[in-house]
Amino acid sequence: MDNTKQLVDTIVKGVQEKKGSGITIIDLNGLDGVICKYFVVCQGNSPMQVEAIADSVDDMLRKELNEKPVKVVGLENAQWVAIDYVDVMVHIFLPDTREYYDLEGLWKDAKQTVIPDLD
C-alpha cells in the first residue's frame, strides 16, 4: 500500500475515532492547479468535537505512521481546522461552516468518495 493511501486511511480512522461525520475523500490527482493529492473533509458538531477530531488524527498519524503535520490552522476557534500533510489536506468543519465553503462543490470535477458514518 502506498504512503498516500495509508495517510488517507489512517486519517479516516482518526476522524471515526472521535465520531466525526460526513467524511468525503476528494481525489485531486490529475487536476490542474492542485496543492495536494487528496482532501479529506469531515465535520464535528461542536468546536470541542472539531478540536478532538484534529487531535485524534494527529495522534493516530504520529503513532501509526510516524507522520507529523507541516501546518495546522484554525484551532483558535475550531470552526474550520485544516491540517496539512503535504500530499493530503484534512479539513474538519462545523456543519454551517462546511456548508458555506462547500469544498465538495468547489472540487466537483474530482472523484469523491463518501465514507458512511459509523453508528
Sort 12 into a burial class: Cβ within 10 Å, 0-12 / 13-18 / 19+: buried
> Which residue ranges of the chain lie beneath pLDDT 50?
none
Longest dimension (CA), the chain: 37
Strands 38-43 and 111-115: unpaired
Q: What is the pLDDT of residue 119?
A: 74
Q: CA quadruple 24, 31, 74, 8: dihedral positive or negative?
A: positive
74-103 burial, b for 16+ CB within 10 Å, e for fewer? beeebbbbbbebebbbbbbbbeebbeeeeb
Per residue in 77-101, pLDDT (tens digit) is 999 999 999 999 999 999 999 999 9
Q: What is the pLDDT of residue 2?
A: 79
Instruction: Look up the pTM and report it.
Output: 0.95
Q: Collapsing DSSP states into helix, strand and coil, what is residue 52?
A: helix
Q: What is the pLDDT of residue 92?
A: 98
Distance CA(52)–CA(98), nearest Å, equals: 17
